[in-house]
Amino acid sequence: MINILSEIWALLCEMSPYLLLGFLLAGLMHEFVPGTLYTRYLGDRSLRSVVLAALFGVPLPLCSCGVIPTAMGIRREGASKGATISFLIATPQTGVDSIIATYSLMGLPFAVIRPIAALLTAVFGGALCNVLDTDETVSPADRTHCEDGCCAQETPSPRRGIGARLLAALSYAFGEMMEDIGKWLAIGLVVAGIITAAVPDSWFVLFQDNTFYSILFVLAFSIPMYLCATGSIPIALALMLKGLTPGAALVLLMAGPASNAASILVVGKVLGKRTMLIYLASIIAGAILFGVGIDNLLPREWFTHPVMQHAACHEDGIGLFSYICTGLLLLLLVRALWPFGHHHHHHHEALSHAEARGVTYSIEGMNCNHCAENVRKAIASLEGVEGVEVSLREGKAIVTGSPDEAEVLRAVESIGFKAAADAEK
């Protein structure tokens, strides 16, 4: 047990300065890059829209669950199926935070190739979707419920000064993002610690230096399993230290975040089974192609040397700066994940007031703040809605006003969640 905790602590200390920087950059992007930029150019069935969707998605700090409602949202706002699939494939694999964290643990070659692989795989998947699935019909459940595209853009917020916007960026980076990613980062670190300290090397003898078996092994558990882009990094590192090839490690970094059982079901339901198969086949093909390519076309030392350096630094000790960053990161994680904090208390009070005068809907499938915000926007776009309060922790939405109940259910289901009106109204 002590060895496992020691490995977790070493990984956290190694990643913490880069994670803090990555969260900060993600917060600045969220605040200063307008959201309409991501939907303005994605409507036509062209290679250009597919490429733009992938380029928009690569730096965005959206986790594997948060990207699903976001992608379904841009689909409702007019994005083509190809652009939507491209966005779905590229976005969860990377992000400014995970690219920087990849560099911290696995070195520059992985940090460079990871977004390139995500971009090219996404473009391939989107282009293939445009060729093989020409049905661009948008069902009533997928349409925005307003006229003249008024829902395609968010209501402009009052103009704020640079100081207020910087504070908003910090609040998002070290508040909402910590809440969304913190749990999965912790799980990734624990799994990596267990693999490194408790799993015998003999368990991985079959996979050592064997690209084919390594890739099949990684695909078998990474495709259906939920892994976030940042949380997958320590697991990939631990598996490499046990003998998996660099190509297999990249397969985990690609296929793990890009797909999971929930995203596969949602894509099949909202975009159709043919699109779902194209989406899944593109991820698998891209991961295998890049995995095999790394192991056979590029020098192995490019990828193994940084990993060995990490192990050597672990033995040499940790510097004061890393300790300070680790302490700060832990404090921020506790603040974000502690269920009885100031933010949660006031949100619960607001929810209670709304519940007293509105209709409650149970929402299944929300896993992060992006999910909750997309549910809020989908319901708020409906005619007759006066206000919406969404609770991620309680899995419900309180709607005030007089919208049609069936419209509310359709709006929520159109972005990939299950909804049901409370029996007690």
Write out the residue range of the structural domain in which residue 364 sits. Answer: 342-421
Q: Are residues 58 and 175 in the same domain?
A: yes
For the chain, give the percent of residues with pLDDT over 90: 28
- 301-311 per-position pLDDT tens digit: 999 888 877 66
Question: What is the spatial distance between Cα 83 and Cα 38, in angstroms, rounded to a whole number?
Answer: 11
Quote the tokens at residue 409: 């259910």
Q: Are 371 and 71 in contact (CB under 8 A)?
A: no
Q: Are residues 184 and 205 in the same domain?
A: yes
Is residue 276 situated within a structural domain? yes
Q: Tally the domains of the chain.
A: 2
Residue with tokens 């670190």: 189
CATH code of 412's domain: 3.30.70.100
CA angle 128, 134, 135 (to 5 degrees): 130
Is residue 193 situated within a structural domain? yes
Which of 363, 350, 358, 425 has its CA nearest to residue 394? 363
Task: Give all strands of the β-sheet with 396-401 in edge-to-edge order.
Answer: 385-391, 396-401, 359-364, 418-421
Q: Are residues 155 and 116 in the same domain?
A: yes
Please identify, among 267, 302, 332, the residue that sits at the C-terminal boundary of a domain. 332
Q: Strand, coil or helix: what is 385?
A: strand
Question: What is the spatial distance between Cα 353 and Cα 303, in angstroms, rounded to a whole number?
Answer: 55
Q: Are residues 314 and 348 in the same domain?
A: no
Please identify, among 300, 332, 364, the residue that sits at the C-terminal boundary of a domain. 332
Is residue 299 situated within a structural domain? yes
Residue with tokens 């990249």: 250
Please identify, among 272, 307, 332, the residue that sits at the C-terminal boundary of a domain. 332
Q: Are residues 230 and 248 in the same domain?
A: yes
Q: Report the helix count and the strand count for the chain, using DSSP H and E.
A: 18, 4
Q: Are residues 216 and 318 in the same domain?
A: yes
Q: Are residues 317 and 351 in the same domain?
A: no
Quote the tokens at residue 416: 């990939």
CA angle 195, 199, 201 (to 5 degrees): 110
Q: Are residues 271 and 129 in the same domain?
A: yes
Between strands 385-391 and 359-364, the pairing is: unpaired
Q: Are residues 55 and 189 in the same domain?
A: yes
Q: Are residues 233 and 253 in the same domain?
A: yes
Question: What is the spatial distance between Cα 267 and Cα 261, in angstroms, rounded to a whole number?
Answer: 10
65 or 243, which is more confident? 243
Is residue 174 situated within a structural domain? yes
172 or 122, which is more confident? 122
Q: Are residues 8 and 98 in the same domain?
A: yes
Q: What are the φ/ψ torsions at residue 401 (nearest 5 degrees)?
A: 115, -155
Is residue 337 situated within a structural domain? no
* Residue 254's pLDDT band (cuts 50, 70, 90): very high
> 195-212: string of b/e by CB count within 10 Å (b at 16+)?
bbbeeeeeebeebeebbe
Q: Are residues 248 and 292 in the same domain?
A: yes
Is residue 223 situated within a structural domain? yes
- 11-37 per-position pLDDT tens digit: 888 888 988 998 898 888 888 877 666
Is residue 413 situated within a structural domain? yes
> 400-423: string of b/e by CB count within 10 Å (b at 16+)?
bbebeeebbbbbbbbbbbebeeee
Q: Are 99 and 111 in contact (CB under 8 A)?
A: yes
User: If you average pLDDT over residues 322-349, what whole number do you get?
Assistant: 73
Q: What is the mean pLDDT of the chain?
A: 82
